[in-house]
Amino acid sequence: MTKILKFGGSSLASAELLRQVAALVRAALPDAPIVVLSASGKTTDALHAAARAAERGDVAVARERASEVRTHHAELARGLFGDSMPPELAAELDLECTALERRLDGVALLRELSPRSLDAIVSAGELLSTRLFAAWLAREELDCEWFDARRVLRTDARFGSAEPDVARIRELCERELGPRVRPGRAIVTQGYIGSTAAGVTTTLGRGGSDWSAALLGAAVGASEVQIWTDVEGVYSADPRVVPAAHPIAELSFAEAAELAAFGAKVLHPATIQPAIERRIPVTVRHTARPNGRFTTIRAEAASGRPLAGLASRSPVTLLTVTSTRMLAQAGFLARLFEVFGRHGASVDLVATAEVSVSSTLEPDAPLDAIRAELEPFARVDVVPDRAIVAVVGERLKLTPGTAARVLAAAGEVHIELISMGANEINLSLVVGREDEHELVRRLHAALLETDRPTGSPAR
Ligand code: ASP
Ligand code: MG
């Protein structure tokens, strides 16, 4: 069985971090690791900026950005190898940077940047980071192989946000990757990039390396997908708001999805879905604190705790539609949502009363247009600058009294709307934006600081 170890750009930003990552890979050697890397630091941003400058015909800026990328990798190499950089590595980095410069020149000449060309340009980031890292592992006398992810990560031709072909990826992995994987040896490959059936380079979209890791993990039947980053997992609340927030030891996929939807950062659940579907646990870990806490996300929750965590999002707009005549009539809600839908307003929470319906809308929803359509038959009240605070937990539905504890903890914070998610793992409260952080702190203190999650060592 193999493990996937994925490292994000922030974990690869300096020679010191690369050494740390190499130590983690060494420790994982018995697990036949497949190491999936992002581009180092902000390289992908620099490559985008270079491509956009070239498209404007601004050759000077394009070259400057490209030379920053070249210099950054030369510095990383110097930090690792000192004066004894392997000549093959120097040649590989030069080849990749030269190809990049030529592509940018081409774009500048034509002043035309197709999504396909952009993908070819930005793929340089992952190719450079993996070349450099594989060379460092070799220098450290680790048995390793650099592997071009494009040999197996088959996608369609929607450049910039390509759709992976899961069945084909699995076949290709069985043929190309599986035979290379064995205990004692590390495979080093790229996140984010793939290729079409015709062999043209594609990308999965910004931040796509997590998705690559999950896709590869699912395709090879890994025992774990490890996402190494710069936080100790998914937190019970935003630690900037709640200093006592702690990484959640165990999360179900549904809980992770709810927390992300309501504002938790870290990782986009959709990207880890391929692994979850195959029941492969996904862990989120801190590269600089490998022995610290971390979060394990599984298809089903194993924590046994009623609440997993809190997330909050603002601003949202609370819109209340009141109609004594219409509301009881069949089709009123359909009519209301048809108006929202036609104006592209996405609704998060809904609560209904006898003569009114309240919903939260994104702050950029076209409120005037919506109001104009609804006002002929209903009163419309719009309250901007609200916040949604979501209490998320798989066992919320099974634990009597949770709602009472939530409301008691809110104390005198004025709650304007309460909504129990249809999946019953999310209890959401709408409050004024000025009360958002206060409510999160109160709820965390009352509900999440009393008993520590099982499996999460106290500091
Ligand atoms: N390097 C890519 C990006 O910055 C992919 C990733 O980091 O996941 O978006
Ligand atoms: Mg990322």
Q: Specify the pLDDT at position 151.
A: 98
pLDDT of the residue at 326? 63
For ligand 2, the distance from its centroid to the CA atom of residue 371, given in whole angstroms, is 39
Q: Which pLDDT does position 331 carry in this prediction? A: 80
pLDDT of the residue at 91: 98
**Are both 100 and 201 inside the same structural domain?**
yes
Among 198, 230, 262, give the residue marking a domain's end. Answer: 230
Q: Which ligand is nearest to the CA of 43?
A: 1
Q: Residue 306 above 80 pLDDT?
A: no
Q: Which atom in ligand 1 lies closest to the alpha carbon of residue 205?
A: 9
Same domain? For 330 and 426 the reply is yes
Report how far ligand 1's centroid is from the alpha carbon of 62 (Å): 20
Rounded distance from Cα 9 to ligand 2 centre (Å): 6
For residue 296, tell me if it sits in a domain.
Answer: no
**Mean pLDDT taken over the chain:** 93
Closest residue to atom 8 of ligand 1, CA basis: 207
Please tell me whether residues 331 and 423 are part of one structural domain.
Answer: yes
Among residues 175, 199, 230, the one where a domain terminates is: 230
Predicted local confidence at residue 457, as pLDDT: 43
At 132-172, the pLDDT tens digits run 999 999 999 999 999 999 999 999 999 999 999 999 999 99
- pLDDT tens, residue by residue, 360-378: 999 999 999 999 999 988 8
Q: To test the ligand 1 pocket, which listed residue (12, 206, 271) has its Cβ within 8 A of the most ligand atoms?
A: 206
Note whether residue 293 is domain-resident: no
Instruction: Report the nearest atom of ligand 1 relative to the CA of 125.
Output: 1
What is the residue with the minimal CA distance to atom 5 of ligand 1?
A: 207
* Final residue of a structural domain among 187, 215, 230: 230
**Å from CA of 38 to ligand 2 middle:** 7
Q: Ligand 1 centroid vs 199 CA: distance in angstroms?
A: 21
Residues 18 and 127 in one domain: yes
pLDDT in tens, 94-110: 999 999 999 999 999 99
Percent of the chain clearing pLDDT 70 (strictly above): 96
Cα 134 to ligand 1 centroid, rounded to whole Å: 19
Q: Is the shortest distance between the CB of 290 and ligand 1 below 6 Å? A: no
Q: Is 239 within the bounds of a domain?
A: no
Q: How far is the CA of 120 from the centre of ligand 2 (A)?
A: 19
Neighbours of ion ligand 2 (CB under 5 A): 8, 207
**Looking at the structure, do residues 224 and 371 belong to the same domain, yes or no?**
no
Residues linked to residue 190 through DSSP beta bridges, in sequence order: 37
- Report the CATH number at residue 368: 3.30.2130.10
**In-domain check, residue 101:** yes
User: Using one digit for the tens of pLDDT, what is the confidence trace for 56-68?
Assistant: 999 999 999 999 9
Q: Is the CB of 192 under 6 A from ligand 1?
A: yes
Give the number of the atom of ligand 1 that is nearest the alpha carbon of residue 8.
7
CA 45–ligand 1 middle distance (angstroms): 9
Could you tell which of 129, 130, 209 is best to mutate to test the pocket of ligand 1, judged by most ligand atoms within 8 Å of the CB? Answer: 209
Residue 259 lies in a domain: no
Domain extent at residue 27: 3-230
Same-domain check for residues 17 and 163: yes
Q: Is the CB of 38 under 6 A from ligand 1?
A: yes
| pLDDT tens profile 388-435 | 999 999 888 777 888 889 999 999 999 999 988 777 889 999 999 999
Domain tally, the chain: 2
- Same domain membership, residue 216 and residue 317: no
Give yes or no for residue 459 having a pLDDT over 70.
no
pLDDT-wise least confident of 265-269, 309-313, 388-392: 265-269
Find out whether the beta carbon of 281 lies less than 6 Å from any atom of ligand 1. Answer: no
pLDDT at 344: 92
